[in-house]
Amino acid sequence: MSKVRVAGFGVSLDGFSAGIEQSLQDPLGKRGTELFQWFFHTKTFCSMHGIEGGTVGDMDDEFAHRAMDNFGAFILGRNMFGPVRGAWPDDSWKGWWGDDPPYHAPTFVLTHFEREPLVMKGGTTFYFVTGGIEDALERAKKAAGSKDIKIGGGVSTVRQYLRAGLIDALNIASVPVLLGQGESLFHNLDMKALGFSVTDRKTSEHATHLVLEKV
């Protein structure tokens, strides 16, 4: 049976999963890239971006691979897709990733403003959903078939799905960084009351990888 999962999500020691002031120059917010130092050196990351090399077989690469494996559909918040705010001025913005985004599956973008589907190379099609998180999830489940659905972010989107009780599992990377400010992942969320427990924990040089599941 397919599951709804969050995977490969970086969290600082003080609980932030994105920096402040997201922009075209800082898509993860100020200092947001520090949350993914565990990811950038892996073979999985390099392969996604057409780069030779990368570490293979270590703990970070294992969890990086899990972060993209067996997903039949993705759900993204509007801010995760890009920095454009309000009504779409035109169709020129096609995401942060160039012509071949890393999703290679139907990808549903939450927005308040309608836009025609955007077909990209490599099997990614962006669908822009104005009906809210449950409508996006219903459509993603139909598209994914027997595979899992990934809630890809950003932080506010993950929090919405957590509050609604719609996420089955999270793979997060707790990184030894203090951001001081940014978007908090778990603020005012009682994960225990939502049914989650830590079911796996592995530590690398760069992060502690935690699996939280409903049990």
pLDDT per position in the chain (215 positions), as tens?
A: 899 999 999 999 999 999 998 888 888 889 999 999 999 999 998 888 788 889 988 999 999 999 999 999 999 999 999 998 999 999 999 999 999 999 999 999 999 999 999 999 999 999 999 999 999 999 999 999 999 999 999 999 999 999 999 999 999 999 999 999 999 999 999 999 999 999 999 999 999 999 999 98
In order of their start, the domains of the chain are 4-88+100-214 (3.40.430.10)
pLDDT of 90 reads 93
pLDDT of 135 reads 98
Look up tokens 């530590």; give the residue. Answer: 203
Q: How buried is 39 (Cβ within 10 angstroms: 0-12 exposed, 13-18 middle, 19+ buried)?
A: buried
Rounded Cα gap, residues 29 and 22, in angstroms: 4
Rounded Cα gap, residues 4 and 150, in angstroms: 6
**Residue at 156: amino acid letter:** S
Rounded Cα gap, residues 201 and 110, in angstroms: 31
**Dihedral sign, Cα of residue 11, residue 211, residue 125, residue 159:** negative
pLDDT of 23 reads 86
pLDDT of 50 reads 81
Residue 89: phi, psi to the nearest 5?
A: -70, -30
